[in-house]
Amino acid sequence: MAAIAKITAKGQTTVPRDIRALLGIEPGDLIAWEVEADGHVAVRRVRPFDLDYLRSVQGTLGEWESAEDEEAYRDL
């Protein structure tokens, strides 16, 4: 499914009705924009559990951000 929406001067857009229905989003919900390595962008609904979980583990993920880790896990 594809839909087209215009971006305003403030960088805002309206999520088309069919897309809102497909994603199950309603006013007040949050969406996440995920940019893939190939340049494609995915949009998904963020559930409250997702936010709580991400906030809870955010401080524990830094130990794997070294250049050595990037080198070791580059081909996975």
Extents of the domains making up the chain: 17-73
Q: How many CB atoms lie within 10 A of CB 20?
A: 17
46-65 pLDDT, tens digit each: 877 777 777 777 777 677 67
Rounded Cα distance between 50 and 44, Å, is 11
CATH code of 17-73, in short, is 2.10.260
7-47 pLDDT, tens digit each: 999 999 999 999 999 999 999 898 988 998 899 998 888 87
Its pTM surpasses 0.95: no
